[in-house]
Every structure is written in C-alpha cells, then in structure tokens.
C-alpha cells in the first residue's frame, strides 16, 4: 500500500485522517507544521502522496507544495477550511492535484486519495523506446502508459494536471484548445476556478520544457493553446 504524508497543525485532524488511511492499509507519516512536513519529504523519498493543510505554522501548505514540486511529481492534496475561489486557485497554482475543504467526509476523502494514488502510482519505464500510444514530437517523448515525459532522454517531473494538459495538446498537434475546454476536460465541469488556472499550469510547463516549449507550445491569443509540430 501507499506511504502518505499528512501535515496539519490540528492534532485531532491528523489523527482522524491518519487512522482512516491506516485502516485502509496505508503507512502514514504525520507532520504538525510545514517545516516538519518538508523534513519528512526529504527523508522519505518514496512517499506516494502528500496531504497538506494550508494554514500551518513555520511554512504554509502552499509553500510546502511548491517545494515538493521542485523535485517530485507525486500527487498533492490540499486540505483546508479556506473555501474561497482565490484559495483554491492559489492551491492549484502551487502545483496541487486536488483541494478539499473542511469539514469533509472521511469516506469521500479516502476515495479521493485512492483516485489520486491510482493516477500517480506509476513505475518508471525501463527504456525510452516508443510503445503503442506513446507520443514523440521532436526531442520530446510522452510515455502514455507510464505517465512520464522525457526531453532529450531526461525525465521531466510534471504534476498530473501539467501532464494532462501537455498530453492533450500533443495528442492533437495543430488543434487549438480553448482555456475553457482544457479547464472542463482536465479539472471537470464542476470546478469553480477560472481559466487563469490553465495559464499558470501552461507557464510551469513552459519553464520545465524550456526551448522545446518556446518553439512548440503556441499561445492563440484570446482563445487558448496548441502544439506546433514543425
């Protein structure tokens, strides 16, 4: 089963979540603040998922999420009493894959954890050969089944949302995807955020892919994005 980091400054919340996940067979590492959460992240390189409260002492959940995203594409769920659109947008712009507001149902929370684990629990491919379903554009290779991206044979760490955007654009090069369509298809039609969330994710993809993105990811002003295959 999975190794999960649960970071929250409220001991009762940590215990409730931890006990629930432990009963499902997972190993839980608890942190009472953001600094402790990062220490656990550094000492446990095979963590499968992080659940972070936003308003924690020392370092808040947004900052912890950003630090994790510098080196890891593992699923990150933010759990917070802050339910405003701004807070959720900030969460996704920090690199989170999901955002859950308190109070929450433990049953629903557990199901969302399992869904994120299914998306994120992938093994690195043994080689970078092209398999059925993989996509190669110039020197970029998308390993579809492995949910991994390689640039010049170097593994590029993307979040689930970043991978989904890049995969969708590269699967249909030349096709323009509006920001609204990407938001609906990747975040879901019930997502309450706005299209700036898509822009921030594309900006992070551009940063990670550098020159390849500069030449291949085209902004169609007033509409959205497309991939230039030439």
Least confident of 6-20, 68-82, 174-188: 68-82
**Architecture, CATH, for domain 3-120:** 3-Layer(aba) Sandwich (3.40)
Rounded to two decimals, the pTM is 0.58
Instruction: Determine the topology of domain 135-227 in CATH.
Output: Arc Repressor Mutant, subunit A (1.10.10)
Predicted confidence band at 123 (pLDDT cuts at 50, 70, 90)? very low
**Dist. CA 75–CA 69, nearest whole Å:** 10
**Dist. CA 160–CA 119, nearest whole Å:** 7
**Dist. CA 145–CA 133, nearest whole Å:** 8
Residue 162 above 50 pLDDT? Answer: yes
Residue 208 above 60 pLDDT? Answer: yes
Mean pLDDT (the chain) is 87
Which secondary structure element, helix H or strand E, spans residue 168, and what is its range? helix 160-171
Per-domain boundaries in the chain: 3-120, 135-227
For the chain, helix (H) and strand (E) counts, in that order, are 8, 12
**Dist. CA 152–CA 149, nearest whole Å:** 10
């Amino acid at each position: 089963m999975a190794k999960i980091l649960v970071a929250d400054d409220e001991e009762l919340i940590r215990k409730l979540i931890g006990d629930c996940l432990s009963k499902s067979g997972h190993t839980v590492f608890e942190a009472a603040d953001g600094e402790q959460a990062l220490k656990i992240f550094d000492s446990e390189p095979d963590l499968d998922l992080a659940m972070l409260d936003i308003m924690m002492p020392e370092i808040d959940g947004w900052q912890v999420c950003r630090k994790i995203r510098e080196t890891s594409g593992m699923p990150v769920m933010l759990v917070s009493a802050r339910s405003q659109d701004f807070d959720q947008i900030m969460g996704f712009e920090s690199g989170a894959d999901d955002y859950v507001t308190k109070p929450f149902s433990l049953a629903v929370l557990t199901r969302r954890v399992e869904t994120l684990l299914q998306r994120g629990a992938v093994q690195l491919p043994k080689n970078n050969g092209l398999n059925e379903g993989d996509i190669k554009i110039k020197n970029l290779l998308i390993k579809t089944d492995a949910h991994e991206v390689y640039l010049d044979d170097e593994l590029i760490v993307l979040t689930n949302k970043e991978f989904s955007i890049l995969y969708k654009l590269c699967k249909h090069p030349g096709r323009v995807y509006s920001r609204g369509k990407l938001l609906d298809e990747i975040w879901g039609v019930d997502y309450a955020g706005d299209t700036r969330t898509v822009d921030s994710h594309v900006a992070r993809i551009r940063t990670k892919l550098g020159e390849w993105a500069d030449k291949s990811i085209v902004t169609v002003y007033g509409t959205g994005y497309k991939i230039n295959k030439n």
